[in-house]
Structure 1
């Protein structure tokens, strides 16, 4: 088999060009590097590489197009791949799942009897007693004082059958009162939410911190009485 001579910017590029001309794989060819590539200034190629190549004499093969070899080298689908996912059956699977989901979405969910109760029904259920509300409020305010790291003690007074006042007494409680009692109002709402659950009828809860509410009531009474 006669030799072919090719050039390239590198030896590998020259070899690839020779393989294209011979139409064989690299393992079926033999090469002779005539000249190595040389680089000039700024990485420019000063001299291209030059190689000679031919088909190995002991294993001559007919000339074929390398592109045909690549196509023939691609693995063929086997019987085991029959169940592999393809774009067509993937779309069908998605559509089937969508239909199934739609059927599930149309299924009526049974409503529990308790869910049909109205707020009026809840109003008829008696809530905790004033004593129970007061004790829960006392425990909550003690915990709140501990969280805020203030020296205070919670106490409870039953004002009447349905009204209870929880008081937090101590020194330096301005942090829990806030400007114009805004923080105190938030503490009262928070305490009510913690101890009074739902709209059921029960005791009314008031919260005072450091006697702030009491002083306001006394000032209002003096103003009213003139």
Structure 2
């Protein structure tokens, strides 16, 4: 894979220059934002944005379809964002990871990530129907997914401390299946508590119980 680093006034401008240098489209590259830069005041203290762009050796049907579907869905949302391929084949999920960035990125996330989860679900569903393959793709917005993972891990550990201190079980708020799994994993090695899921449908949640 060929990789280059590029700097420019903005992330988008740096990406566009790199794409021309690599003679590639967005779907053919992985994009890693090294620095978003700083505008400074009257040019003083400003820093250029920096990106690393890597051309992928060949693309899969799922990757090609996902890029097209995701871009089409986002375009119909009438938001000022761009969709970049962050990883062509993530080791954890076994599928591509797309990163959405832009002035309206918060609208893509939605309340407690609900809009983002719905967008990912719909993209997976359409891509699966188009390709006949399981679409293990991930859609993230400016690192929200990683921040949410860390937030859930911190929450799980704080609740576990309270459970141990009080000797009483605590129910967490309803979560998606993936979020519940992250909480279970976060506390899987804590011998002082154990976790169970309770409730049905959208009301399903994790319960932290003293051992």
Which category of TM-score, normalised to the shorter sequence, fits these structures? 0.3 to 0.5
Q: TM-score with structure 2 length normalisation? A: 0.38
Which is helix-richer, 1 or 2?
Answer: 1
Q: TM-score with structure 1 length normalisation? A: 0.36
